[in-house]
Amino acid sequence: MGNEIAPNSMGPNTTKLKKPERPFRSAVFRGLGVVVPPLLTIVIFLWVAGTVNQYVLHPTTAGVRYVLVWFAEDIREEVPPAQRAVPADKVPDPENYFYELPDHKFVPLNVYKLVLKHHRSGPMPETAEEVYERYVQLKYLPAHLVVPAFLAIFVLVLYLLGKFMAAGIGRLSVGIFERGVLQLPVVRNVYSSVKQISDFLFSPREIEYTRVVAIEYPRQGIWSLGMVTGESMLDIRAAANEPVLSVLVPTSPMPVTGYTINVKKSEALDLNLTIDQAFQFIVSCGVVVPPQQLQDALDAKAAADDNESAAKGS
């Protein structure tokens, strides 16, 4: 009839049309997968460097420059006419001559010449204070000296802070500070999240893991990664009538929390993974698979395909 429905057009046996492959889009996504990780790594490091430079290095350098200017400046309101000179004059001893600036103050001629020599673009400093700030920056605070000195001092401060934290008074002070921060409504949420990440990245692990295993948890057929922390209690071993392991099962994406369970040694599958690779797998929610495990999976799939082809051929 006119209203007849073509077979397989409805119902459970409906044939689904396969979406056409899009090689261009697939190639673009594969390219992004190659480019994004190193690009994001570079962006993160540049962002950290820029933040440290803007909020730590630059204010510190400005403070040091202010102190050096205060000690080194030789700004005079008036000098004898015989000691007045301009940079173009040929004078026997520039240190004994002074140059008059637009603000009608005098600075030593050698100071002004150094600033003029390294001046690149834009107007020259017009005040004596600006000239001396530039002079101190050029003579005492060049970048090739400031950056290594800052890094050395920064590492030293971190070391002293770590030693202070190891003492009882340090932990008490930080505990009081954190309790105060956690009383703030909005700040406590951000601070607690950042602290969890920083503790996971930088704090020494109080729990020593011996190896990585896979266990069927929370039920059979579902595999979870776990870190073996040691042998379990004797009573549990006696009840199981075989060795039992204590296993920490971390949670994604923050493995600082998890579950401690006791598993029969025979039911724990040892994995060819390092502790760091296991944590990467957990933090990435299973996206970052260790290379050796990925290659093994590909080899297993290829072997299965070969066996299937051989079976069909026979």
In percent, the amount of the chain with pLDDT more than 70 equals 83
Range 141-151 average pLDDT: 87
Tell me: pLDDT of 89 over 60.
Answer: no
pLDDT band at 5 (very low <50, low <70, confident <90, very high): very low
pTM of the model: 0.53
Predicted pLDDT at 1: 47
Quick one: which of 136, 54, 66, 128 has its CA closest to 98?
128
Predicted pLDDT at 266: 92
- pLDDT by residue (tens digit) across 10-53? 445 544 555 556 778 888 878 887 888 788 888 888 998 899 88
Angstrom distance (rounded) from CA 36 to CA 42: 10
Angstrom distance (rounded) from CA 198 to CA 192: 10
Output the furthest CA–CA distance in the chain (Å, rounded).
119
Predicted pLDDT at 216: 92
Exposure on the CB side of residue 145, measured as CA atoms within 13 A:
8
Helix (H) and strand (E) counts for the chain? 10, 7
Q: Rounded mean pLDDT of the chain? A: 80
Tell the residue number behind the tokens 């369970």, with chain if given: 261
Tell me: pLDDT of 85 over 80.
Answer: no
Q: Select the highest-mean-pLDDT range: 21-25, 35-39, 71-75, 234-238.
A: 234-238
How far is CA 175 from each of CA 158, 165, 170, rounded to the nearest angstrom?
18, 10, 8
Q: At what angle do helices 168-181 and 143-166 cross, to 10 degrees?
A: 100
Range 55-83 average pLDDT: 86
Predicted pLDDT at 9: 47
In percent, the amount of the chain with pLDDT more than 90 equals 11
DSSP line for 14-77 = PPPPPPPP-HHHHHHHHHHHHHHHHHHHHHHHHHHHHHHIIIIIHHHHHHHHHHHHHHH---BS
- pLDDT by residue (tens digit) across 240-259? 999 999 999 988 877 777 88
Predicted pLDDT at 184: 83
Tell me: pLDDT of 71 over 60.
Answer: yes
Angstrom distance (rounded) from CA 117 to CA 139: 12
Which tokens in the block code for residue 175? 């505990």
Element (H, E) at 202: helix 187-202
Please say whether the beta carbons of 113 and 85 come within 8 A. Answer: no
Give the count of beta carbons closer than 10 Å to the beta carbon of residue 81: 6
Distance from CA of residue 178 to its chain's centroid?
Answer: 22
Predicted pLDDT at 301: 67
Q: Which of 118-122, 196-200, 202-206 has the lowest mean pLDDT?
A: 202-206
- pLDDT by residue (tens digit) across 90-112? 666 666 788 888 888 888 888 88
Domains of the chain by start residue, with CATH? 73-139 (no CATH), 177-206 (no CATH), 211-303 (2.30.30)
Angstrom distance (rounded) from CA 261 to CA 245: 8
Which tokens in the block code for residue 250? 């971390």
Tell the residue number behind the tokens 């770590």, with chain if given: 162
Q: At what angle do helices 58-72 and 128-139 cross, to 10 degrees?
A: 110
Angstrom distance (rounded) from CA 223 to CA 118: 66
- pLDDT by residue (tens digit) across 275-308? 888 888 888 888 888 877 776 666 666 777 777 7
